[in-house]
Amino acid sequence: MSPAKQLRRLDDLLDSRLMSKLDAIDLMSRKIFSGKLQGERRSRRRGQSIEFADFRPYVHGDDLRFVDWNIFGRLDRLFLKMFLEEEDLSLVIAIDTSASMRAGDPDAFDYARRVAMALAYVGLVNQHRVSLVSFAEGRVERASNLRGRRKAAEVAQWLLALEPSGASGFEDAMRLVGTSRSGRGVMVVLSDFLFAEGFEKGLRMVAGRGFELFALQLLAPQIIDPAREGGVTGDLLLVDSETGTETEVTVTPELLRIYKERLDRLCGALRAYCQRRDITHMVVDTSTPVETLMLEYLRRRGLLR
Partner 1 sequence: MTLAAVTWIAPVAGAVLGASILAPLVALWFLKLRRKRRAVPSNLLWVRSLADLRANAPFQRLRPNFLLLLQILAVLAIAFALAQPEAEGFGSTGGRHVVMIDRSASMNAVETGEAAGGEEGVTRLDLAKRAAKERVRQLLGGGWFSTNASDVMVIAFGSRAEIRAPFTDSIAALEGAIDGIKPSDESTRILEALELSRAFTANDRPDEVETALLADPPTIELYSDGRVEDLGSIALRTGERLVYHRVGEASSNLAVVAVSAERPPDAPDRIQVFAAVANPRTEPARATLQLAVNGTVRALTPEPIEIPAAVERDGQFIPGRAQVVFRPIEQAANAAIEVAVVEDDALRDDDAALAIVPPAKRLAVLHVGSGSFIVRTLLEGLPIERFASRPVSEFDDLVAKGELGAWDVIVLDGVAPKVLPAGRYLALGAPPPVEGLAPYGTHRGVYARIVRDEHPLFRSASLDELFVSQMTAVQVDKSFQVHAEAAEGPLVVSLDRADLHLVYVAFDPLDSNWPFQRSFVNFIANAVELLGRAGDAVTGRALAPGEAIAMRLPAGSRDGQIRLPDGSESKADIDKDGNLSYGPVRLAGLHRVSYLEPGRDERAERLVAVNIADAAEARIAPLENLSIGTKEVQGISVAESRRGALWPWVLALGLLVVLVEWWWYQRQIRL
Note the residues at the interface with partner 1 (CB under 8 A). 99-104, 108, 192, 194-196, 220, 223, 226, 232, 234-243, 245-250, 252, 254-255, 258-259, 261-263, 266
At its nearest, how many Å lie between partner 1 and the CB of residue 151?
31
Q: Name the β-bridge partners of 95.
A: 134, 190
Burial class (CB in 10 A: 0-12, 13-18, 19+), 3: exposed
Q: Which is nearer to partner 1, 76 or 235 (CB)?
A: 235
Residue whose CB is less far from partner 1, 53 or 263: 263
How far is 60 from 134, CA to CA, in rounded Å?
45
Q: Which lies closer to partner 1 via its Cβ, residue 2 or residue 20?
A: 2
Beta bridge partners of 143: 132
Judged by beta carbon, residue 78 or residue 255, the one nearer partner 1 is 255
Specify the pairing of strand 90-96 against strand 129-136. Answer: parallel
Q: How far is the CB of 66 from partner 1 (least distance, A)?
A: 56
CA pair distance 302, 213, nearest whole angstrom:
11
Which of 107, 156, 93, 115 lies closest to 290 in space, CA to CA?
115
Residues 6 or more apart in contact with residue 301 via CB below 8 angstroms? 214, 280, 282
- In whole angstroms, give the CA distance from residue 64 to residue 42: 23
Cβ of residue 229: shortest distance to partner 1, in angstroms?
13
Q: Report the residue number, 32 or 251, with the smaller CB distance to partner 1.
A: 251
Q: How far is the CB of 146 from partner 1 (least distance, A)?
A: 29
Residues in the chain: 305
State the nearest-atom distance from the C-beta of 254 to partner 1, in Å: 7
